[in-house]
Chains A and B, each alone.
Chain A
């Protein structure tokens, strides 16, 4: 068993990529940064590998969930208590 720890491995051209290749370069695939040939090879793998399709879908869901996790806060005014705290801190600094 080997973890997914390569830093800057190049995705090889030609041949069917492995599950490791697909998952390691998944962000490039999602961001549409693969060459047409690499993308075609990716999709060839995905067509026959339900596990990688499941991984890809969960990865996409994770990105959406992370982006939605931030609270939607109004850019209102600073609470007076915080204004006072900043004022005091400045005078004491």
Chain B
């Protein structure tokens, strides 16, 4: 691999600006990024070794950040990135160029993470109905909800709280965990989440609401006001 390829700082900066949000600068900046991506894609399609190396170095850090958000274990995140790159290399011929290269890689990374999460065995899997609120026939809650400790949100950024919340997310049934990871952790839109999971917008909303209700149930014992 040619070192001068990797030290092409102009290319690096251009691609670094290209994801996740569209470039906010002048339109010629956007055009420059698109040109850089188009040139790199052309070299990839000609199977230039240096172009593959360049893509890994330029996009890999961003892809690893995505994987780390979705997968708590570092090794799982690294494996997902590796899987994503191999999947991308195999699919380059089918990339139609209608989206940005980096957007396409982001989606491939998300899918690689989902695949890895699905193959991880978890026993026993929780039943969603056991985690949803229950009601009596007249529509009242079967058990009244108690207030949460007002300081619960104060510690939201603390490592201990984040670790607990993350562990409870991982207890959700797969299909509910996935939608919550995509919407609340990866911050995809409802439409984008539907696209990744092959679901309608309405179904995404229904499933996300249940996922949040179930997560609330799992967190409640830790944050209710009388919890000691």
Residues in chain A within 8 A of chain B (CB atoms): 1-5, 7-8, 18-21, 23, 26-27, 50-52, 54-55, 57-59, 61-71, 73-79, 82-83, 85-87, 89-90, 93
Which of B22-30, B32-40, B78-86, B116-124 makes up part of the contact surface? B78-86
Question: Which residues of the partner chain B approach A93 to less than 8 Å between Cβ atoms?
Answer: 86, 89-90
Q: Flag whether B226 is at the interface (Cβ < 8 A).
A: no
Question: Which residues of the partner chain B approach A57 to less than 8 Å between Cβ atoms?
Answer: 147-148
Q: Give Cα distance in the complex from A83 to B53, angstroms.
A: 8
Q: Given A69-B162, A87-B52, 6 more contacts at CB 8 Å?
A: A54-B146, A63-B184, A65-B152, A70-B186, A74-B65, A93-B86
Q: Give Cα distance in the complex from A61 to B223, angstroms.
A: 10
Q: Give Cα distance in the complex from A58 to B227, angstroms.
A: 14
Q: Are A4 and B156 in contact (CB under 8 A)?
A: no
Q: Are B57 and A73 in contact (CB under 8 A)?
A: no
Per the 8 Å Cβ criterion, residues 57-89 of B in contact with A are: 57, 60-65, 68-69, 78, 81-82, 85-86, 89
**Can you list 17 A-B pairs with a CB-CB distance of less than 8 A?**
A4-B133, A5-B132, A18-B140, A19-B139, A20-B139, A27-B208, A58-B219, A58-B223, A62-B216, A66-B212, A73-B64, A82-B81, A83-B53, A83-B60, A86-B60, A87-B53, A90-B85
Closest 6 CB pairs between A and B? A18-B139, A78-B60, A54-B145, A55-B145, A51-B144, A27-B209
Q: Give Cα distance in the complex from A87 to B60, angstroms.
A: 12
Q: Give Cα distance in the complex from A53 to B97, angstroms.
A: 49
Q: Could you tell me the dominant secondary structure of chain B's interface residues?
A: helix
Q: Give Cα distance in the complex from A86 to B90, angstroms.
A: 13
Q: Are B215 and A62 in contact (CB under 8 A)?
A: yes
Q: Give Cα distance in the complex from A77 to B206, angstroms.
A: 38
Query: Known interface pairs A1-B135, A19-B141, A26-B209. Does A73 touch B216 (Cβ–Cβ under 8 Å)?
Result: no
Q: Are A61 and B148 in contact (CB under 8 A)?
A: yes
Q: Give Cα distance in the complex from A21 to B133, angstroms.
A: 12
Question: In chain B, what residue has the closest Cβ to A16?
Answer: B139
Q: Are A67 and B78 in contact (CB under 8 A)?
A: no
User: Which of these, B145, B185, B215, contacts A51 with CB under 8 Å?
Assistant: B145
Q: Could you tell me the dominant secondary structure of chain A's interface residues?
A: helix
Q: Give Cα distance in the complex from A59 to B64, angstroms.
A: 30
Q: Are B136 and A62 in contact (CB under 8 A)?
A: no
Q: Are A2 and B86 in contact (CB under 8 A)?
A: no
Question: In chain A, what residue has the closest Cβ to B141?
Answer: A19
User: Which of these, B139, B142, B166, contacts A69 with CB under 8 Å?
Assistant: B166
Q: Are A90 and B89 in contact (CB under 8 A)?
A: yes
Interface centre among A21, A51, A78 (most CB of B within 10 A): A78
Question: In chain A, what residue has the closest Cβ to B159?
Answer: A71
Q: Are A73 and B141 in contact (CB under 8 A)?
A: no
Q: Flag whether B161 is at the interface (Cβ < 8 A).
A: yes
Q: Flag whether B205 is at the interface (Cβ < 8 A).
A: yes
Question: In chain A, what residue has the closest Cβ to B143?
Answer: A51
Q: Give Cα distance in the complex from A87 to B137, angstroms.
A: 61
Q: Give Cα distance in the complex from A63 to B101, angstroms.
A: 31
